A and B are shown apart, each in its own frame.
Chain A
């Protein structure tokens, strides 16, 4: 770097820019907490305090120089790092090691994140084509129920997943007809679709399985066992025994990125979502593209739902999805309508669920306090859509019905 700066002014190096300092501060805040956790498990409050204060300092330095959100986030990260770090040094090492088993936590994060990833990528197809899909929740629910039902009737998990996908597409078709051809309000129809799915799956569940509840001996989606990884430090416990659908979600991630941003199909979808009239003028059928996109989203959301029931919890209960469709929607917005962004957000939500799952070990048996940890992913979703890290810009024609001329 050649110093061409005038005397008395710092060279505006990109490495030392306000925003990067802010990001560094965020990292320092996380580090302040991390040091107190296994495997390092620092027992003195000194280290989290030092790194937390460094983070705060970096944050203040950054905001003074126009670092904006990154700077403020660094201050917040530093303060949180100190708080949690000090709290962690106060609790017993045995407790910490019981809860913070990183490899188990990461594997669990992936399990929680996968249904969200499928649904969020499904939502990306629909929303990129200009159709808001609040109905993701209902489409996931259809996948969850029909996956179990199909696997039970056909005695094959693969056919179960297939039936789940068909059910998801069917519900997405209803959404598509009402929002595209009948030009109804997309939010109201999405809500209607959710009610329909909740009622229909609940009805069929009660009428097919009645009081005895879901069948327990259903064929499950198998885990992929990678024997050669088992003994590798850290990687083994995380990746050696993941469910097939988790690997599928990784593949889908790559595929959806290529389709959306590197092929004509993706270009068409995005054109229809940004400027439908222009797309129509050059001969792209707006209606057909939107139908295809919405039905793809139904299929993918149903895959997520099928993983939830057949690959993760291995049963079905009424309203098993519990708002996951909406969290996926938030992940999509948080990830700026991009596959990897949505995946990162899904991992964040998955991590909060995984943590919420493990923290109860901290408390006595039968205590109601752990119930509060279930709140974590929902709270995080609110913070995410409130746009802590930058605002996301939606596709321009989103939510607008298109009228052919």
Chain B
């Protein structure tokens, strides 16, 4: 395994070169070269990730932690090595603060169930924003419903910028947690997470000692450098598959003192210290939260993805992705009848839009006919759609391997949709 610290091994970034690393990009769809612009839904995988998963099954396949044989040792090394790689990548003080889950959704549910639920009393509140993905709304609704507590959403303005005054006003002595998305999956807005953490931690009502903050980083980790110390948050959740890794594995990072006091969500093997019918004692974090045989190859694949990213010049990648977004915003913005949804300054990699006279689902189907893959729908963020008064949007989202020619293909396909519908 080659592990590089950021930029020391970095070579000049050239999207044309990195495209060669992603086998799935090189295919035709309906007779057109695939233009994959649905990266906020999931990213394509570099060969390094595919090979890491394949290597596990062709060479190292075993269960972890238990066996004393060679393959078990290799599998354990892959899994625990991945934990260290993740910790390094996100600037976590210790790998023991990295819990492997099935994805962002499970990570958030784990915090809802094991951290927030035991602290909730009737009348308490969990503060979220109006721009959250359903995965950062519904878990809080479920535990709040059980406890007689409420989920309080903080509004954003017409551009999709969070209202900081409203955020401060939303905090109260009853706030048990703030849960906020780092980057909005539907709008591309980057929330000022470090500032929100500062405000929440500084809150001193009713003799409290600050409010803990969970950050949904699913859309941020692929694009922004994330550093737990710099963000200052209490929990950070993300998924491997959105950052060029495999499906079915994700991360919950939590401060050690929080994880230590959390009961397990699932019981089973590999999360216990001792089991007897007189009583069972649980393992320390992170094992306490990883009952059963985990997604070993997925963790290995995630590590391969993060190492792949670390091997690139990430500043250059970020500049490239921003240039693609600017290009798309600029060109789409000039097409009559196209309206951008979400115009916050400093957005990341996502452009949502509507086309007069063509429903987003029709836009999606017509673009697919030209080989252009985008997402159409409510993006699991219905409150956002309600806020903008649209049933759905079309969304193009960029990754490091996209090109400016692909932006042109997107815009040309949108014009073709308008032509076909006679609008």
A, B assembled together:
no
